[in-house]
């Protein structure tokens, strides 16, 4: 009798350990970012800010999926408080929602690259590729060498005045919107 109770208790302990390990795994995946095991979309500003902070001053990452509601806008000013960067250090591009994409998408970028706006109806699911380099010139060289033209349609030149043009606005980051794979 004593051995049977002891064996039952061991199985119960093992089950509790498995549940705790699974919960820790979920939390770790959410902290690492880019993976949302619960399948829900996150706030766009928070998601992009976390991407910028994780790679600044130099790097390349893709954020998790976020949603943009009709008439919602993302601007570099929205991200300055969360990232600690100057607004001129962050440039937006419509990326895969740009030239040659679905005309019903209706994502537009500001001429200066200071933001993007979703003008369509309903909700748009997107993610962002965030690329940061130490200066605007280094970012432009990286984009010219490694990012396909269609990814940002040459709509924004990070070295333009007002968009990482001066050396004081370092690092320089570009946020390219992309379509989620699911």
pLDDT digits (tens, 9 = 90+) for 102-150: 555 677 777 777 888 888 888 888 899 999 998 888 888 888 888 776 6
Closest CA to 62 of 131, 150, 158: 131
Distance CA 116, CA 76 (A): 9
Per-residue confidence (pLDDT) for residue 131, from 0 to 100: 92
Distance CA 134, CA 136 (A): 7
Classified as helix, coil or strand, 45 is helix
Per-residue confidence (pLDDT) for residue 22, from 0 to 100: 92
Distance CA 9, CA 45 (A): 47
pLDDT tens track for 24-63: 988 877 677 545 445 555 788 999 999 998 887 888 999 9
Q: Where are the domains of the chain?
A: 1-32, 44-178
* CA angle, residues 141, 97, 30, in degrees to nearest 5: 85
Closest CA to 56 of 167, 158, 171: 171
Tell me the pTM.
0.71
């Amino acid at each position: 009798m004593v051995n049977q109770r002891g064996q039952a208790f061991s199985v119960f302990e093992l089950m509790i350990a498995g549940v705790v390990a699974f919960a820790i795994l979920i939390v770790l995946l959410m902290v690492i970012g880019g993976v949302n095991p619960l399948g829900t979309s996150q706030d766009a500003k928070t998601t992009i800010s976390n991407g910028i902070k994780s790679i600044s001053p130099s790097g390349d990452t893709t954020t998790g999926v976020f949603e943009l509601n009709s008439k919602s806008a993302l601007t570099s000013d929205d991200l300055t408080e969360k990232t600690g960067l100057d607004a001129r250090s962050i440039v937006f591009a419509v990326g895969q929602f740009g030239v040659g994409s679905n005309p019903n998408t209706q994502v537009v970028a500001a001429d200066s690259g200071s933001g993007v706006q979703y003008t369509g109806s309903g909700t748009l699911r997107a993610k962002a590729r965030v690329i940061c380099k130490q200066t605007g010139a280094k970012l432009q060289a990286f984009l010219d060498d490694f990012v396909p033209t269609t990814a940002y349609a040459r709509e924004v030149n990070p070295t333009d005045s007002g968009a990482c043009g001066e050396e004081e606005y370092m690092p320089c980051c570009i946020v390219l919107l992309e379509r989620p794979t699911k």
